[in-house]
Amino acid sequence: MSDSGRLLAGVRVLALEQYMSAPYCTLLLADAGAEVIKIERPVVGDPRRSIPPFVERNGVRMGVGFMAYNRNKKSLALNLKSDEGRDLYRALVSKSDIVVENLRPRSVDRMGLGYESLSKLNPGLIYAAVSGFGRLPGREGPYGDWPSFDVVAEAMGGVMHMIGFADKPPSPSIYGMPDLYAGMAAAHGVSMALYRRSVTGRGQFVDSAMYDGVLSLNERMISLAANTGARPARGDAPGFYPRGLLSVSDGYVAFTVPDDIMWRRFCRMLDRPDLLDDPRCDSPAARTENRAFLDEVVGPVFADLTRDEAVQRLLAVGVPAGPVQTSDDLLVCPQLEARGVRVSVEYEGLGELQFVRTPLLTSDAPDVPLKPAPTLGRDTRQILADLLGFPDADIRRLGAEGVIGTASE
């Protein structure tokens, strides 16, 4: 379908972004139909352009991570260290609905490009800042000026403390998870602010902190510690059992038996009705306490089954289960195929490359657009000419003076 039928069609976003968190936010907005103009430094661009791994074919090279989070965007190479570059940015802000940025705290304020300054130019501006520890005025906290990447947020948010085994050091989770969640939260905030603007006519500041986001994913640690006195740690049972992994003949299966209803179903599947009256298994707490006993009962039942066989036996009695999938499994998963989660994007010189779409689907726009991530400065001329009315001679001058970049790099 055309972009005009999408939820955010007609919305313009300036993305003063780099690495992952803000780019994921604006990817969500772009997939929903917004026009996203990515502001990059001339010559070097978003640092993620230069971070491996790369796809290299026919003399063309692009970073896989950059491509994954920057499709459906335009690239404007603009030198914000120059007075004229900052003036161009302000002119674009006056014609935009949203700014999303994740630069180091206070850097935009030093350039005179923070929310307080820009909102005077455009009172309807929605300004989303993604940071490590938060930037809402009055709520910055003692860590507000700290830079942050995913591992820092995971460590401080307690997630790393919970991952792994009791006798091993803390472990990180999926690469970039705090960035992506903070970007998703920012996109959620932007969407709500857009609705509010339709009522009041005014924009507002949207503050998404990686630390806050990680802790919201790990809220159980706080709620248990504050309200029950428990101190969750690596290797702790979640409070009900059986749960976790089953070793099968060709890998592993994940499953969970969270309550007595499913426990009765599970016992029927095991053909062990005697366990229903066993005091070691007659409550979630008892089953958790007697994990070793239950592992000895359950493990042999599944050891010789395949993943598919084990999953089907569990699903047949209503116990949630699924295989532990590898990258090879994900590349051929029929559910992902049916949902259109794997998308193919055509890149000049590189051919057709496969990525993962953003997760939200809506009935009027069930498929996302699939425009490739831009080369650096690809859209500079078009943006300056169409949005700001610059003649070609002025664009050439700005390029010669290093205010903008127009080459496809």
- DSSP secondary structure of 67-136: HHH-TTEEEEEE-TTSHHHHHHHHHHHTT-SEEEE-PSTTHHHHTT-SHHHHHHH-TT-EEEEEESS--S
- Rounded CA-CA distance 343/18 in Å is 23
- Rounded CA-CA distance 118/124 in Å is 10
User: Structure tokens of 257?
Assistant: 């038996």
* Residues 6 or more apart whose Cβ sits within 8 Å of residue 345: 67, 71, 352, 353, 354, 355, 370, 371, 372
Question: CA-based Rg of the chain, rounded to a whole angstrom?
Answer: 25
Residue 154 has a CB neighbour count (10 Å cut-off) of 26
User: Structure tokens of 70?
Assistant: 């920057």
Tell me which amino acid residue 110 is: R
The alpha-helical segments, DSSP class H, found in 229-290 are: 260-270, 284-289
User: Which CATH superfamily groups domain 3-218+336-405?
Assistant: Crotonobetainyl-coa:carnitine coa-transferase; domain 1 (3.40.50.10540)
236 in catalytic set: no
What b/e sequence results for 195-230 when a residue is b if at least 16 CB atoms lie within 10 Å of its CB, and e otherwise?
A: eebeeeeebbbbbbbbbbbbbebbeebeeeeeeeee
Q: What is the pLDDT along the chain (409 residues), one digit of tens a residue?
A: 556 678 999 999 999 999 999 999 999 999 999 999 999 999 999 999 999 999 999 989 999 999 999 999 999 999 999 999 999 999 999 999 999 999 998 899 999 999 999 999 999 999 999 999 999 999 999 999 998 999 999 999 999 999 988 999 999 999 999 999 999 999 999 999 999 999 999 999 999 999 999 999 999 999 999 999 889 889 877 778 899 999 999 999 999 999 999 999 999 999 999 999 999 999 988 999 999 999 999 999 999 999 999 999 999 999 999 999 999 999 999 999 999 999 999 999 999 999 999 998 888 888 889 999 999 999 999 999 999 999 999 999 999 999 999 864 3
Q: Are 374 and 17 in contact (CB under 8 A)?
A: no
Of 3.30.1540.10, 3.20.20.140, 3.40.50.970, 2.40.40.20, the CATH number of 243-326 is 3.30.1540.10
**Residues constituting the chain:** 409
Classify 265 as helix, strand or coil.
Answer: helix
Q: Are 202 and 123 in contact (CB under 8 A)?
A: yes
Classify 290 as helix, strand or coil.
Answer: coil
User: Structure tokens of 398?
Assistant: 């700005």
Which of the following is catalytic: 31, 150, 179, 212? Answer: 179
Find residue 318's DSSP bridge partners: none
What b/e sequence results for 155-166 when a residue is b if at least 16 CB atoms lie within 10 Å of its CB, and e otherwise?
A: ebbbbbbbeeee
76 Cα distance to chain centroid: 23
Pairing of strands 243-248, 251-256: antiparallel
Of 81, 133, 88, which is closest to residue 108 (Cα–Cα)? 81
* Residues 6 or more apart whose Cβ sits within 8 Å of residue 106: 145
Of 253, 266, 319, which is closest to residue 297 (Cα–Cα)? 266
* Residues 6 or more apart whose Cβ sits within 8 Å of residue 397: none
Q: How many helices (H) does the chain have, and how many strands (E)?
A: 18, 14
Domains of the chain, by residue range, sit at 3-218+336-405, 243-326
pTM attached to this predicted model: 0.93
175 Cα distance to chain centroid: 10
Q: Tokens 């998308």 map to which residue?
A: 343
- Rounded CA-CA distance 187/348 in Å is 30
Of 405, 406, 408, 348, which is closest to residue 80 (Cα–Cα)? 405
Residue 125's Cβ-side half-sphere holds a number of Cα atoms within 13 Å equal to: 26
Q: Tokens 């699903």 map to which residue?
A: 315
- Rounded CA-CA distance 104/60 in Å is 31
Pairing of strands 60-63, 54-57: antiparallel
The alpha-helical segments, DSSP class H, found in 177-304 are: 177-200, 210-217, 219-228, 260-270, 284-289, 291-302
